[in-house]
């Protein structure tokens, strides 16, 4: 039965401890990461699963588990940057073994969830993640994508967008910030074929919840990339994470789609798109780029890129319709 999202929100509003992440953490006011976690765990609980969480090193980890305190109320494992997918693969396999030998009830419903930022996903942890997916472990990997190594001061990552100002690829006279295109991580994971992979946004809870539900019920590995605005290094106001996320969807910067065993489906198609420049102007991290004399040329190139990517998604949706792999 599909989740009643309104009822779910009401259920957990009065008892945050049920969700799994409580107040008292040290994440920045307005950070998108705890919203990503809560949206995920609310759905897990509503569907009757017991969550077991693995968390890679990063902003979310260092801010929620400052010894001797923790903001987590569910079984939780801290991992290094590179190995959260491997750890949760082992935990999922151990649970199977315990059930097989009668050490655990067969009907016990677990949701094995790995959380990680873009540094631990696009770059450092991609080998471990690829192995988890290829082996077919029933683990949900949730990427909270704040588009840089924010925990250590805003260094560029494989998830950093073109033109963003970072400490290791600063906008200056020589280069216009990061010059490479953001890695298409969902397509990379979707290319493993026997997997469910999707994008999500905290600005669209219904779409987010539906994808977590589908991931949990998927017979195999699943992956959700959720845009997670960073207040500090995106240079946005404390209360702007939701509006910036919405603008990302409305400008085609962050299209909402899924890949189910090779079949592409766009889950949100805005009636009218806004120009990408609105997304760029809303954030201070692009201010140095927009101050360059060649800004128009760069912005036009970025607009052309998101337009072509959208057309490609539409084409893939049409071409793969009902052509499931495996």
Residue 9: pLDDT band with limits 50, 70, 90: low
Cis peptide bond upstream of 314, omega within 30: no
Strand order in the sheet with 196-201: 76-79, 50-56, 110-117, 140-145, 222-227, 196-201, 257-260, 263-266
Mean pLDDT, residues 124-139: 97
Measured from the Cβ of residue 118, the count of other Cβ atoms closer than 10 Å reads 27
Average pLDDT, the chain: 94
Side-chain half-sphere CA neighbours of 311 within 13 A: 6
Band of pLDDT at residue 23, cut at 50, 70 and 90: confident
Backbone angles phi, psi at 242, to 5 degrees: -70, -45
| Predicted pLDDT of residue 17 | 63
pLDDT digits (tens, 9 = 90+) for 243-264: 999 999 999 999 999 999 999 9
> In the chain, where do the E strands start and end?
50-56, 76-79, 110-117, 140-145, 196-201, 222-227, 257-260, 263-266
Residue corresponding to tokens 């509503």: 46
First to last CA, the chain: 25
**Architecture of domain 5-319 in this structure:** 3-Layer(aba) Sandwich (3.40)
Res 12 pLDDT > 60: no
Share of the chain above pLDDT 90, in %: 91
Q: Which residues pair with 201 in a beta bridge?
A: 227
Per the listing, tokens 């090193």 go with 57
Helix (H, G, I), strand (E, B) or coil at 113: strand
Determine the pLDDT at residue 325. Answer: 87
Radius of gyration, CA atoms only, the chain: 19
Percent of the chain topping pLDDT 70: 95
Average of per-residue pLDDT across 119-138: 97
Segment 96-109, tens digit of pLDDT: 999 999 999 998 89
- Residue pLDDT, tens place only, 204-247: 999 999 999 999 999 999 999 999 999 999 999 999 999 999 99
Whole-number pLDDT of residue 7: 66
For 59-87, b/e burial (b = at least 16 CB within 10 A) is bbbebbbeeeeebbebebebbebbbbbbb
Phi/psi at 140 (nearest 5 deg)?
-95, 115
Q: Using an 8 Å Cβ cutoff, are 80 and 56 in contact?
A: yes
Q: Provide the token pair at 325.
A: 């792999």
pLDDT at residue number 101: 94
Cα 312 to Cα 187: distance, rounded to the nearest angstrom: 12
Asked whether the predicted pLDDT for residue 5 surpasses 70, the reply is: no
pLDDT of residue 187: 98
**Residue 24, pLDDT score:** 86
Q: What is the pLDDT of residue 216?
A: 97
- Alpha helix ranges (H) inside 177-281: 185-190, 205-217, 231-234, 241-250, 276-281
Instruction: Find the range with the poorest average confidence among 14-18, 47-51, 171-175, 247-251.
Output: 14-18
Whole-model pTM: value is: 0.95
- Does the pLDDT at position 4 exceed 80? no
Instruction: Name beta bridge partners: 40.
Output: none
Query: Where do the domains of the chain lie?
Result: 5-319
Round to whole Å and give the CA distance between 251 and 257: 14
């Amino acid at each position: 039965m599909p989740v009643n999202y309104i009822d779910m929100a009401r259920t957990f509003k009065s008892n945050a401890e049920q969700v799994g992440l409580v107040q008292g953490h040290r994440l920045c006011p307005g950070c998108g990461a705890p919203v990503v976690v809560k949206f995920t765990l609310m759905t897990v609980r509503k569907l009757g699963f017991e969550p077991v969480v693995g968390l890679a090193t990063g902003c979310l980890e260092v801010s929620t588990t400052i010894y001797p305190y923790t903001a987590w109320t569910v079984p939780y494992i801290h991992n290094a940057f590179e190995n959260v997918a491997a750890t949760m693969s082992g935990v999922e396999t151990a649970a199977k073994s315990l059930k097989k030998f009668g050490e655990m009830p067969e009907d016990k419903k677990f949701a094995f969830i790995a959380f990680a930022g873009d540094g631990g996903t696009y770059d450092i942890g991609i080998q471990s993640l690829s192995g988890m997916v290829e082996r077919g472990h029933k683990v949900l990997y949730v990427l909270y994508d704040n588009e840089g190594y924010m925990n250590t001061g805003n260094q560029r990552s494989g998830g950093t967008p073109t033109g963003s100002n970072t400490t290791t690829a600063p906008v200056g006279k020589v280069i216009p910030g990061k010059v490479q295109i953001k890695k298409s991580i969902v397509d990379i994971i979707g290319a493993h074929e026997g997997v469910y992979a999707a994008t999500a946004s905290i600005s669209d809870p219904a779409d987010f919840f539906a994808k977590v539900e589908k991931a949990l019920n998927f017979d195999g590995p699943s992956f959700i990339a959720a845009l997670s605005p960073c207040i500090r290094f995106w240079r946005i106001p404390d209360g702007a994470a939701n509006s910036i996320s919405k603008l990302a969807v409305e400008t085609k910067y962050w299209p909402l789609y899924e890949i189910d065993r090779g079949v592409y489906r766009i889950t949100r198609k805005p009636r009218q798109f806004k120009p990408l420049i609105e997304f760029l102007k809303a954030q201070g991290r692009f201010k140095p780029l927009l101050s360059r004399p060649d800004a128009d040329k760069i912005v036009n190139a970025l607009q052309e890129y998101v337009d072509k990517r959208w057309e490609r998604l539409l084409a893939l949706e049409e071409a793969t319709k009902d052509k499931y792999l495996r």
